[in-house]
Structure 1
Amino acid sequence: MLRTVLLLLLFVSFMTAQSRIIPEPRRYTERSGQFKVTSSVRLILGSGGTGEERIADVLNGELGERDGLSLKVSAEGSLRRSSGPFIFIGRPGTPMAKRLAAERSMTLTPEMKAEGYCIDVDAKGAVILAESEKGLFYGVQSLLQMLRRDGRALSLPAASVSDHPLQRMRGISDDVSRGQISTVENFKKIVRSCARYKLNVYMPYIEDVFLFKNHAALGTGRGALTAKEWKEVDDYAKRWFVEVIPVFETLGHWENILIHPDYVRYGEFPGAHTVNVSDEKVYAMLDEMIGEMAGAFSSPYFHMAADESWDVGLGANKERVAASDLATVHAEHYKRLFALIRKHGKRPVMYGDVILNHPDILKKIPNDVLIVDWAYGARFDYSSPEVFRAAGFPFLVSPAVWNFTGPFPNYLNTFLNIQSFSLDGYRNGSQGIICSNWNDFGGEALRELNYYGYAWTAECAWNPVTAALEPFDAKFFGGFFDAEQDELRSVYALLGSPANQYHWYELWRHPMLPNRDDMIWEKRLPLVQRMQSIRMTMPFVLGQLAEAEQEVTVNRSHLQYLAFAARLNLWFARKIDAQERIRLALKDTLMDSAAKGTLIAGLCGEVTADLAAVKEEFRRVWLTTNKPEGLDLLLKRYDRQAAYWNEMAASVRAGDFDLDPQLRSQWLYHPKANPRKKDSLQVKKAYFRTSVPLARKAVRSVKVQLLGDTWAVLYVNGTKAAEVMGRQSLSLLVENRRAVIADVAPLANDSLLVLAAEAQSFSETGSGGVNVIGEVVYADGAVQEFRSDAAWLASDTAAAGWNTTSFTPQGWLAAAPKPYPLPVIAPDLSSGRTSWYER
Structure 2
Amino acid sequence: MFLCIENLIPFDEILEEITIVPNPQNFKLIGGNSLKISETSSISHNLTDNAEYLIEYVSDFFLEKGLASKLEVRKDTQELKKNVIFDLCEKYFPNKLEHLDNQEVFKTQGYILSIYDNNINIIGDTPQSIFYGMQSLMQILDYHNQQLISSQLIIIDYPLLKIRGISDDISRGQAAKLENLKEFIQRLSKYKINQYYLVYMQDMYQFKNHREIWEGRGAYSKEELRDLIDYARKHFIDIIPIFQTIGHWDNILYYENYWNYGEFPGSNSLSIGNEEIYDLLDEMIGELSEIFDSKYFHIAADESWDVGKGKSKVYIERMGLDNAYLAHYQRVYEIVKKHGFEKMIMYHDILYKHETVLKNLPKDIIIMYWKYNLKETHPLIDLIKSHNFPVLVSPSIWDYNRIFPSISHFERNINNVITYGYSKGIEGVVTSCWGDYKNKELRENRIFGFIYSAELAWNPRNVENPIIFWRVIFKHLFGENSDSILKVFNKIREIQDKKKLRVRQMFYYNHFFSHPYRKNTKRFRRNLRISRFDTLIVEIDNMIKNCRIVLDDLDKNQLLLESLIFILNHMKFYCSKRINSKKIIEINVKRINKKLLAIMIKEVEQLRERLKILLLEYEKLWLKMAKPDGFKSLKQQYVWLIQFYDEKIKDLMERREWKNPNIPSESIYIKEKKNKALNTFLFKKSIDVKEGIKSAYIQVIAGTFCEVFINESLRGNVITRHSLNYVLQDNNIQIFDIKHLLQKGENTIILRNTDYIGGLGIVNLYGEIKLESGEIIQIKTDKSWLGSKENSEEWKKVNSFGSPPKLTGGLNYPDFENGLHSKENEYVASFNTIYSKVSSKFRWLIKILIKMFNRYDILE
Q: Normalising by the residue count of structure 2, what TM-score does the alignment of the two structures yield?
A: 0.86
| Distance of aligned partners of 1:53 and 1:745 in 2 relative to their CA distance in 1, 3 Å threshold | same
Please give the alpha-carbon distance, in whole angstroms, between the structure 2 residues aligned to 1:729 and 1:294: 29
Match of 1:487 in 2: 484
Does the CA contact (< 8 Å) of 1:17 and 1:29 recur in 2? no
Quote the Cα distance in structure 2 between the aligned partners of 1:261 and 1:657.
46
**Which residue matches 1:538?**
540
Q: Please tell me whether the aligned partners of residues 735 and 816 of structure 2 are also in contact (alpha carbons under 8 angstroms).
A: no
Structure 1 position 257 matched with structure 2 position 255: no
Deviating more after overlay: 152-161 vs 601-610: 601-610
1:278 equivalenced with 2:273 (yes/no): yes
Q: In 2 relative to 1, CA 631–156 (structure 1 residues): closer, same or farther, beyond 3 Å?
A: same
What is the CA RMSD across the aligned residues, in angstroms? 2.8
The CA deviation string for residues 30-84 of structure 1, in whole angstroms up to 9 with x for no partner, is 2342111222210111x24224422212211222233255532433438xxxxxx
Aligned partners of 2:252 and 2:557: how far apart in 1? 37
Q: Secondary structure at the match of 1:170?
A: strand
Q: Is the 8 A contact 1:702 1:743 kept in 2?
A: yes
* Contact map agreement 2:786 2:795 (CA 8 A) in 1: yes
The change in CA–CA distance for 1:359 and 1:496 in structure 2 (over 3 A counts) is: farther
Contact 1:494/1:537 (8 A) holds in 2: no
- Name 1:827's counterpart in structure 2: 813
Within a 5 Å distance, the mapping from 1:145-294 to structure 2 comes to: 145-147=139-141, 153-207=147-201, 208-294=203-289
Aligned counterpart for 1:811 among listed residues 794, 797, 801:
794
Answer yes or no: is 1:778 the counterpart of 2:771.
Answer: yes
* 2:783 matched residue in structure 1: 790
Q: Secondary structure at the match of 1:161?
A: strand
Question: Corresponding residue for 2:559?
Answer: 557
Determine if contact 1:114/1:132 at 8 Å carries over to the other structure: yes
Aligned mates of 2:369, 2:86 — CA distance in 1: 45
CA contact (8 A) 2:123 2:130 kept: yes
Matching residue of 1:318: 313
Q: Name the residue aligned to 2:630.
A: 630
Does the C-alpha gap of structure 1 residues 70 and 262 become closer, same or farther in structure 2, counting only changes over 3 Å?
farther
Q: Distance in 2 between matches of 1:639 and 1:445?
A: 18
SS in 1 for 2:65: helix
Counterpart in the other structure of 1:119: 113
1:298 & 1:220 partners in 2: Cα distance? 25
717-726 or 241-250, which moves further after superposition?
717-726
Structure-2 separation of matches of 1:310 and 1:151: 53
The residue type equivalent to 1:783 in the other structure is I
Q: 1:116 to 1:683 in 2, by over 3 A?
A: closer
1:414 partnered with 2:397: no
Q: Does 386-395 or 301-310 show the bigger shift? A: 386-395
Distance in 1, matches of 2:512 and 2:809, equals 16
Give the aligned residue type for 1:816. N
Deviation at 1:302, TM superposition (A): 0.4
CA distance in structure 1 between the partners assigned to 2:789 and 2:234 by the alignment: 63
Give the letter for the 2:822 counterpart.
S
Which of 572, 575, 584 is the matching residue for 2:574?
Answer: 572
Match of 2:474 in 1: 477
Q: Secondary structure at the match of 1:576?
A: helix
- Segment drifting more, 733-742 vs 216-225: 733-742
| Inter-CA distance 815–214: structure 2 relative to 1 (3 Å threshold) | same
- Whichever residue aligns with residue 257 of structure 2, its letter is D
Query: 2:144 and 2:376 mapped to 1: Cα distance?
Result: 42
In structure 1, what residue type is equivalent to 2:191?
Y
Q: Is the 8 A contact 2:113 2:155 kept in 1?
A: yes
In the alignment, is residue 41 of structure 1 matched against residue 41 of structure 2?
yes
Could you tell me how far 1:598 is from its partner in structure 2?
Answer: 6.1
Aligned with 2:760 (options 767, 770, 775): 767
- Report the Cα distance in structure 1 between the residues aligned to 2:371 and 2:307, rounded to whole angstroms: 22
- Give the counterpart of 1:736 among 720, 724, 730: 730
Other-structure match for 1:142: 136
Task: Decide whether aligned partners of structure 1 residues 513 and 385 sit closer, same or farther in structure 2, where only a CA change above 3 A counts.
Answer: farther
The reply to whether residue 443 of structure 1 matches residue 439 of structure 2 is yes
Residue in 2 that maps onto 1:460: 456
- Residue 757 of structure 1 is matched in structure 2 by 751
Aligned length: 782
SS at match of 1:666: coil
1:508 pairs with one of 513, 536, 540: 513
- Tell me, in whole angstroms, the C-alpha distance in 2 between the residues paired with 1:67 and 1:615: 39
Which residue of structure 1 aligns with residue 716 of structure 2?
722
Q: What is the rounded CA distance, in whole Å, between the counterparts of 1:50 and 1:185 in structure 2?
A: 27
Partner of 1:340: 335
Distance 1:776 1:651 in 2: 25
| One-letter amino acid matched to 2:310 | G
1:289-308 aligned within 5 A: 289-308=284-303
The answer to whether residue 678 in structure 2 is matched with residue 694 in structure 1 is: no
> Does structure 2 retain, via aligned residues, the 8 Å contact 1:439–1:445?
yes
Amino acid at match of 1:182: A
SS in 1 for 2:330: helix
5 Å-filtered alignment, 1:351-430, equals 351-358=347-354, 360-430=356-426
User: In the aligned structure 2, how far is the partner of 1:179 from the partner of 1:161?
Assistant: 44
Gaps of at least 5 residues in structure 2 are: 1-12, 91-95, 521-526, 828-860
Asked whether the 8 Å contact 2:443–2:625 carries over to 1, the reply is no
- Distance verdict in 2 for CA 1:135–1:682, change over 3 Å: closer
Distance 1:703 1:149, change over 3 A: closer
Amino acid at match of 1:355: L
Measured in 2, the distance between the counterparts of 1:824 and 1:318 equals 36
- Whole-angstrom CA distance in 2 between matches of 1:166 and 1:494: 33
> Which residue of structure 1 aligns with residue 608 of structure 2?
608
Q: 326, 346, 355: which one pairs with 1:350?
A: 346
Q: Are the structure 2 counterparts of residues 261 and 651 from structure 1 closer, same or farther at C-alpha, using a change threshold of 3 Å?
A: farther
* 3-state SS, counterpart of residue 372 of structure 2: coil
Counterpart of 1:190, as a letter, is F
Q: Which amino acid aligns with 1:240?
A: H
Paired AA for residue 58 in structure 1: Y
TM-score (norm 1): 0.88
Per-residue deviation, 1:786:
2.0
Q: CA deviation at 1:531?
A: 3.8
The one-letter amino acid of 1:755's match is: I
Change (3 A) 1:484 1:651: closer
